[in-house]
């Protein structure tokens, strides 16, 4: 490891030593104290400069919490437990997970973004990650492809087979929170069908797919968009709409750390495929593949 002294680091960063000591005192710059002297890893200084992050405005802590934020997924939550990786989950939707990753509040984010033009360019997950300026040192790892569709009450009593049917029958549709991948999917499908969001009879937002399924099961809503596995878990009917990429986004250093390596090794085992088949609506052939890195 290339370590710089205080004077060398100040020269490298083009800062005065007094300013550098102020940053050290505020714990706003990567450094360590060895035998009474401050030393600065050159590669961590490079990351610090390139990220443009200075605490308290968002600099990543040296060690991010062992939490996978972002979208909820039954297979992923099972894999986190079964792999004994020590990674926990925080389910708040793809966009919130991405924002927490930028702020260093989670070590990875589970994402599934959508747009109305996704067939025309690169996959939405890759497009979003590539466009974010603060994500210069990340890797996007495939977890699975999964099936999204309309969840409906058992027997589909309202005879809903498309979003056009939902509008025509004024069916009550369970919504997801802003920034959730499922809500983005709904808006993208509506745009393609020439339907405005205001034409739907929407419930207050549900925070996850299982929450949405529970609302439909309770009869509070007639339908909503979630995964096939959520429909099966709650005994609901399912009308397939799309297959999507469900990926894990993390900093490159996180990729090589033991908890994530433990999960990645588990993703290559047959147990994941067997569980995916039990849950239904998954294709784990891509699991572990690097989809994008920068």
Q: Which class for 198: exposed (0-12), middle (13-18), buried (19 or more C-beta within 10 A)?
A: exposed
Low-confidence ranges of the chain (pLDDT < 50): 53-60
The strand pair at 138-152 and 290-293 is best described as: antiparallel
What is the pLDDT at residue 273? 96
Domain 3-51 listed as CATH 1.10.10: yes
In contact, 93 and 73? CB cutoff 8 Å: no
Q: How many helices and strands in the chain, by DSSP H and E?
A: 13, 13
Residue 293: phi, psi to the nearest 5? -150, 145
- Locate 151 and state its tokens: 């969840």
pLDDT at position 95: 94
- In CATH, what number does 61-294 get? 3.40.190.290
Say which residues have a Cβ less than 8 Å from residue 187's Cβ, sequence separation at least 6: 114, 116, 197
Distance CA 174, CA 153 (A): 12
Q: What is the pLDDT of residue 44?
A: 80
**What is the predicted pLDDT for the residue at 120?**
65
Q: Where are the domains of the chain?
A: 3-51, 61-294
The pTM for the full model equals 0.78
């Amino acid at each position: 490891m290339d370590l710089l002294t205080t004077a060398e680091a100040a020269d490298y960063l083009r800062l005065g030593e007094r300013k550098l000591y102020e940053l050290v005192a505020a714990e706003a710059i990567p450094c360590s104290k060895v035998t009474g002297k401050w030393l600065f890893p050159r590669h961590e200084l490079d990351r610090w400069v390139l990220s443009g992050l200075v605490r308290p405005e968002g600099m990543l802590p040296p060690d991010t919490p062992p939490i996978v934020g972002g979208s909820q997924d039954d297979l992923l939550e099972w894999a986190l437990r079964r792999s004994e990786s020590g990674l926990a989950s925080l389910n708040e939707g793809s966009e919130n997970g991405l924002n927490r990753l930028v702020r260093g509040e989670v070590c990875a984010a589970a994402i599934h973004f959508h747009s109305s033009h996704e067939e025309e360019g690169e996959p939405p997950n890759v497009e979003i990650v590539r466009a974010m300026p603060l994500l210069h040192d990340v890797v996007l790892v495939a977890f699975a492809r999964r099936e999204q569709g309309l969840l409906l009450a058992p027997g589909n009593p309202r005879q809903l087979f498309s979003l056009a049917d939902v509008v025509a029958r004024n069916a009550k549709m369970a919504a997801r929170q802003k920034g959730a991948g499922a809500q983005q999917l709904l808006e993208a499908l509506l745009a393609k069908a020439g339907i405005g969001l205001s034409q739907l009879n929407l419930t207050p937002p549900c925070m996850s797919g299982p929450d949405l399924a529970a609302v439909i099961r309770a009869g509070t809503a007639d339908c909503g968009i979630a995964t096939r596995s959520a429909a099966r878990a709650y005994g609901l009917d399912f009308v397939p709409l799309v297959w999507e990429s469900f990926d894990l986004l993390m900093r490159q250093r996180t990729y090589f750390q033991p908890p994530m390596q433990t999960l990645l090794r588990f993703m290559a085992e047959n147990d994941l495929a067997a569980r995916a088949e039990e849950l239904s609506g998954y294709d784990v052939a891509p699991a572990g593949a690097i989809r994008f890195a920068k």
